[in-house]
Amino acid sequence: MNPKSAFQAMPAPLTFLLTTAGLLSALGGLTGCEDSDSSSEGNSAPTISDISAEGAPILPGGQVTVSVDSERTDGQSLDYDWFPPAGWSGPDSSTSSITLTAPKKQAAQGEVVTYACDEDERCAKAAIEIATRGPAIESFQVDPLPKEAGDTATFTVDAYNRDGRDLTYDYRIGGTLGASNQGEEWEWTAPEMAMGGRYLLEGIVTDSDDLTATASTETKFKSAAVWSTFGGNRQRTGQSQSADAEGAQDTIKWEYSTGDLVWSSPAVGPDGTVYVGSDDDHVYALNPDDGSEKWSFGTGGAVRSSPAIGADGTIYIGSYDNKVYALDPDTGDKEWSFETDNSVLASPAVSADGTVYIGSTDHHLYALDPESGDVEWKVETGDPIFSSPTQGADGTIYVGSDDGHLYALDPEDGQERWRFKTGDDVQSAPAIGPDGTVYFGSNDHNLYALDPEDGTEQWRFATGEGILSSPAVAADGTIYVGSSGGNFYAVDPDTGEEEWRHTTGNTNRSSPAIAADGTIYLGSNTSGLYALDPENRGEKWRVDQIGDVSFSSPAIGPDGTVYIGSWDKSIYAIE
C-alpha cells in the first residue's frame, strides 16, 4: 500500500505516516494519545507528513538532524517530544527538529521517535531508523584452528554495511603475516613459525570510507626450534613447549669451555643443537649429546646477546662490535650483518613474517628484513636498550629502555601505541600472560603488570631490590622473577601479591625457565643453578659446581636437559 493511502485510511485523530527510503525508513503508530472528535470544533488533529534525517548515514561520533513536517488545518502551533535511541545523545527539543550525536560505534542502528501534540493533547507519532556508517562483523570463524605447520584452515567472515558500500576483506596472523583483498572466505596453510607462543588470527573488513571492523580468535603454535630464543617463545614466558622437557637432576652431562665469560643465554635448534655466545667474541654451535663443537663464528666483540632462531633455522644474534648477524645454522657462515651505532647486547625477536626486531645501546629498536638485514624501520628511545623485545599475540612489540620507559610499538611501522614510565632503567624483557597482561621489572625495585591495550598499570609488586631478571609466566599464570637482592619471588597474576619466595642469598639476574612438570630453573650469582618445586615452594636440587651464573638464563632441551652459561667461561648441560 502507498504510505499516503495508509495515512488517509487511518481514522482521525489516530494518524501516522511511514515515509523514507533505504536506511531512512520511518516506523510509526500511535500509543498513549487522547482521542478526540475533530469535527465538533471544525478543527483537525495534528498530522505528520514527512520525517527525515539530514546528514545520514552518519560517521561514528558524528551528528544528524532529524526533522518532521507536521501541521493542523487551523494553523495552531504544536509541541514535540523526542525519544532518541540508546547511545545517541542530544539536547532536549520541543521543536520540529532535534540534533543528535551518534555513538562512536560503527553500524550502530536505532529508532528516533517523535510525538507532535496540540493543546488538546491530540498527537501524531512518527519514527525513523538512523545508523552510523562503517562495516560490522556478525560472525568470524577459523576452522579448524591451526596449531602447527602444515595445518590448513578456512577463515570465514560474515559482515555487513548498513549504507551498502562495498567491502574488502583482509586476514592477518600474529600481526604481520596474512593476505589482502580476499573474499569472505580465505584458506591458509600454516608455515613453520620461528617463535612459538600465542598468535592472534584476525579478519579485517574495510569499506570505501576506509572504516574497518575486526574480529579475531587466538591459537598457539609451536616454534620450529626446541627453545627458539631467550625466554623460550615470542611472549618470553619461559615455558618449555616440549611435553617431555622435564626430569633433569643435578648431574653435569657435559661442559664446553670458551675463551671468556658467558653472559649469553643458549637457544636450542630443531635438531637439538645448542647455540650460544661468549665474551671471547664468538658464537658457538654445540652438539647436544656431548658438547662437542659443530662450528664457531668470530665477531669483532664480545657476544652477550642471546641467539634467536628463525623458521628456516637461521641464527640471529648481536655483538659488542655494534653488529647484528644472521648465520647459517649448519655451517656458521655469515648470511648478512647489519651495523648499528653502538654495541648490541639485547636479544632478537622474530615475527610471524620473519622480521627481526632487536635493540641497541645506540638507543634504537630496529626492525630488519630477514633476508637482507635491511632496516624496515627504527624507533629511537631516550637511552640505551638492553631489554629484549617481546611480542604480543597480535604482534605488538614491547621493549624497555634505560630511559625508564616500557614501549608498545606497532610491528608494521614502529609507531608508538603507548609508553609507560617507571622510576629507573628497564633492562628486564617483558613477559606476557595468557590474557595479554604485560609483566616486566625495573631497577626502581618494582615488578609491573600493565594492560596491553593502553599501558595502564594493573598493579606493582615491590621487591626492595632492583630487577634485572626477566619474569616468567607459569601455566597457571603465576609470575616468577628474581631480584638483585638475592630473592626469587612467586607473584599472584591477578592481585600482584606475593605467593612465596626463595632466598638464594646472591644476585638473581638470570631469568627463570619452566619445565613441562612445572619445575623452575634459575641461575644465581656464585650459587650455580637451582631447581625449585612450585608445589613445595622450595629447593629440589642445586648445582653449585658451575660457578657464577650472573646473566645467562637456562634453556630446556626436548628431553629435559638444561643448558646454561657461566662466568667460569663454560657452557653446561645438566641432566
Residue 6 has pLDDT above 80, yes or no: no
Residue 57 has pLDDT above 90, yes or no: no
Average confidence (pLDDT) over 149-166: 92
What is the distance between the alpha carbons of residues 340 and 524, in angstroms, rounded to a whole number?
Answer: 31
Per-residue pLDDT of 364-394, as tens digits, reads 999 999 999 999 999 999 999 999 999 999 9
Average pLDDT of the residues of the chain: 91
**475 touches 520 (CB < 8 A):** no
Using pLDDT thresholds of 50, 70 and 90, give the confidence band for residue 164. confident
**Residue whose C-alpha cell is 618445586:** 533
Residue 18 has pLDDT above 60, yes or no: no
The CATH H-level (homologous superfamily) assignment of domain 3-131 is Immunoglobulins (2.60.40.10)
pLDDT of the residue at 26 = 30
Residue 34 has pLDDT above 90, yes or no: no
The CATH H-level (homologous superfamily) assignment of domain 252-411+426-574 is YVTN repeat-like/Quinoprotein amine dehydrogenase (2.130.10.10)
Average confidence (pLDDT) over 259-268: 98
**Edge-to-edge strands of the sheet including 513-514?**
513-514, 520-524, 528-533, 538-543
List, in order, residues 6 or more apart from 514 with CB less than 8 Å away. 237, 238, 239, 240, 472, 474, 475, 480, 520, 521
Q: How crowded is residue 330: how many other Cβ atoms within 10 Å of its Cβ?
A: 13
**Edge-to-edge strands of the sheet including 390-391?**
390-391, 397-400, 405-409, 416-421
CA distances in angstroms from 39 to 34, 43, 73, listed in the order given: 15, 6, 12
**431 touches 391 (CB < 8 A):** no
Average confidence (pLDDT) over 540-549: 92
Per-residue pLDDT of 321-330, as tens digits, reads 999 999 999 9
Residue 9 has pLDDT above 90, yes or no: no
pLDDT of the residue at 526 = 75
pLDDT of the residue at 451 = 98
Q: Which of 194-198, 396-400, 524-528, 535-539 has the lowest mean pLDDT?
A: 524-528
**513 touches 238 (CB < 8 A):** yes
Residue 25 has pLDDT above 50, yes or no: no
Average confidence (pLDDT) over 272-298: 98
What is the distance between the alpha carbons of residues 570 and 256, in angstroms, rounded to a whole number?
Answer: 5
Using pLDDT thresholds of 50, 70 and 90, give the confidence band for residue 22. very low
Cell of 12: 482521525
Percent of the chain with pLDDT over 90: 83
**360 touches 366 (CB < 8 A):** yes
List, in order, residues 6 or more apart from 543 with CB less than 8 Å away. 250, 252, 528, 529, 572, 574
What is the distance between the alpha carbons of residues 411 and 200, in angstroms, rounded to a whole number?
Answer: 13
Per-residue pLDDT of 103-113, as tens digits, reads 999 999 999 99
Q: Which of 160-164, 288-292, 458-462 has the lowest mean pLDDT?
A: 160-164
DSSP designation for 16: B
Per-residue pLDDT of 296-322, as tens digits, reads 999 999 999 999 999 999 999 999 999
pLDDT of the residue at 21 = 29
pLDDT of the residue at 412 = 96
pLDDT of the residue at 43 = 65
pLDDT of the residue at 298 = 98
So what CATH class is 135-221?
Answer: mainly beta
Per-residue pLDDT of 465-497, as tens digits, reads 999 999 999 999 999 999 998 899 999 999 999
Which burial class, exposed, middle or buried, applies to 497 when counting CB atoms under 10 A from its CB (0-12, 13-18, 19+)? exposed
What residue ranges do the domains of the chain occupy?
A: 3-131, 135-221, 252-411+426-574
**Radius of gyration, alpha carbons of the chain:** 32
What is the distance between the alpha carbons of residues 315 and 334, in angstroms, rounded to a whole number?
Answer: 9
CA distances in angstroms from 448 to 72, 234, 434, 470, 501, listed in the order given: 68, 19, 16, 11, 17
135-221 and 252-411+426-574 share one fold = no
CA angle 149, 151, 154 (to 5 degrees): 135
Give 30 or 282, the one with higher predicted confidence.
282
pLDDT of the residue at 490 = 98
Using pLDDT thresholds of 50, 70 and 90, give the confidence band for residue 13. very low
Average confidence (pLDDT) over 88-96: 93
Using pLDDT thresholds of 50, 70 and 90, give the confidence band for residue 509. confident
Residue 11 has pLDDT above 60, yes or no: no
